[in-house]
Structure 1
């Protein structure tokens, strides 16, 4: 993953992370990536790991699906918002390519110490680590918080002292639906980008304008996370299918249109993130 993230940063594009919320998401995301010839990150939020069947099950399932579908583009399996050191280590042991430790609610000293422990463990297994500073607002998969901008000093300390590979500084984005217009801290992005030479990660991108996404990418964001808009597209299509076909009971017939909605939404996201790049 590190190779692709570094290339994205240098060439001013971003690799999208799409959250997996169920097994049908895997197939749809992979189809979209293969169709657009794009690298893709499949994220599994720590809060839904048990729902998905556990670290080992979901990691092996994704890898088996990649093989059975003859996927030829780079596929990265990522733990999103890992909440414990032990959980991140379990993901590494299960075969994840990348883990994020969300120590943003901890005092900075404790965030650094725990992140560093994960980095030292993960790097022994060629797994990269993402850290977080500040507080990303909203509600996603049970992770609730209010927006708190990352402090430059904390970003520098976490990146350097923990030897991070990527950093998610909270700069105004939120999980879930936005109330009003997003207010991203572009000046702060510039300061962080000037101070640390690692790729940045933008969480809560659903609802951010294409123009603001382009700005964020130019300011060092090489990984951008999407979830809400895909879930909305899937659920709206599923409701429509059931409303229009109230006698329908075959699961494949019911789910097929909503799966198409997932794939189409992911394709649209990929084109936004990779507008300056195409994987051959």
Structure 2
């Protein structure tokens, strides 16, 4: 069932867990994510980033995400990830997205605040939640590679308190895509930010490659939503390659390939959900 974003994150913050926000590129990814959410009875967020529209056009994928949320046997929110233009923010809301992530991180903090407030005025008028971002999350979100640049505590507090955002993605050394080396998250910064803004849910982008132990530590310090994209895109590729390698050419068919891709995404999603729920011992969770 379609569920308010704010309630999902507020509940997660109160219960010392995080909601998994999983980017979707095709039907198989969507089926695997929903299967994992329903089996674990854990709410999730379905997302697509604006820069992915070239491969997954919004008008095609939005109805699919919205229908999955409405039919799911668990609570689901649907988010536009890394929305950069008011045009696409409005398109996403028109197509049933109930939360928007506006990325104003490329602006100086004062302009980020003012632009985010403008978007918040529009989204809130339509009953849609807004996630903002501060600092530079490294890696590539469909464009040029960026070097991670941690946000300052003062900028985090300024954007979090002045922009009317409902959740705040903060750069603490995290990066999109595959990490080049071991991620080094600035937990001291996260702890100070959480102590200053204890009621604001923080978001961790660039989740793929962060260790389970670091996920759990981040959750204890105010992270209530964690984005996963690359891990499931990798799962789709891996499933496709394994199916091609293990099956005879004349026996290959789309339906078997579909089932393999769904299962691989399901396994990857379920493992992350178990980590984010912050209950099972980490050594019992297998990818």
Tell me by how many angstroms 1:66 deviates: 4.2
Aligned-residue CA RMSD in angstroms? 1.6
Tell me by how many angstroms 1:135 deviates: 0.4
Tell me by how many angstroms 1:50 deviates: 4.2
2:250 to 227, 242, 247: 247
2:218 to 216, 219, 223: 216
Q: Structure 1's 230 and 237: CA in aligned 2 closer, same or farther, altered over 3 A?
A: same
Is the 1:23–1:52 contact (alpha carbons within 8 Å) kept by the matching residues of 2?
Answer: no
Tell me by how many angstroms 1:14 deviates: 0.3
Q: 1:65-124 CA distances to partner (integer Å, 9 max, x unpaired)? A: 345xx4221011011111112222221222211111111111222211111111011011
2:278 to 267, 275, 279: 275
Deviating runs (4+, > 6 A) in structure 1?
none
Q: Alignment partner of 2:55: what SS?
A: helix
Give TM-score, length-normalised by structure 1: 0.93
2:20 alignment partner in structure 1: 16
2:51 alignment partner in structure 1: 47
Tell me by how many angstroms 1:202 deviates: 0.3
Taking the aligned partners of 1:250 and 1:159, their CA distance within structure 2 comes to 50
2:152 alignment partner in structure 1: 151
Is the 1:89–1:118 contact (alpha carbons within 8 Å) kept by the matching residues of 2?
Answer: no
Taking the aligned partners of 2:20 and 2:68, their CA distance within structure 1 comes to 19
Tell me by how many angstroms 1:256 deviates: 1.6
1:262 to 249, 260, 265: 265
Q: Structure 1's 144 and 87: CA in aligned 2 closer, same or farther, altered over 3 A?
A: farther
Taking the aligned partners of 2:55 and 2:234, their CA distance within structure 1 comes to 19
2:171 alignment partner in structure 1: 170
Q: Alignment partner of 2:140: what SS?
A: strand
Q: Alignment partner of 1:95: what SS?
A: coil
1:114 alignment partner in structure 2: 115
Q: Alignment partner of 1:130: what SS?
A: strand
Q: 1:192-215 CA distances to partner (integer Å, 9 max, x unpaired)? A: 111223000001111111111111
How many residue pairs align between the two structures? Answer: 274
Is the 1:242–1:248 contact (alpha carbons within 8 Å) kept by the matching residues of 2?
Answer: no
Tell me by how many angstroms 1:260 deviates: 0.6
Gaps of 5+ in 1: none
Q: 1:130-188 CA distances to partner (integer Å, 9 max, x unpaired)? A: 11111011123336311000011111111122111000110011111111111000000
Tell me by how many angstroms 1:49 deviates: 2.5
Q: Structure 1's 272 and 150: CA in aligned 2 closer, same or farther, altered over 3 A?
A: same
Taking the aligned partners of 1:252 and 1:148, their CA distance within structure 2 comes to 44
Q: Alignment partner of 1:145: what SS?
A: coil
Is the 1:83–1:102 contact (alpha carbons within 8 Å) kept by the matching residues of 2?
Answer: yes
Q: Alignment partner of 2:188: what SS?
A: helix
Give TM-score, length-normalised by structure 2: 0.91
Matched, 1:105 2:106: yes
1:192 alignment partner in structure 2: 193
Gaps of 5+ in 2: 281-287
1:227 alignment partner in structure 2: 229
Is the 1:189–1:219 contact (alpha carbons within 8 Å) kept by the matching residues of 2?
Answer: yes
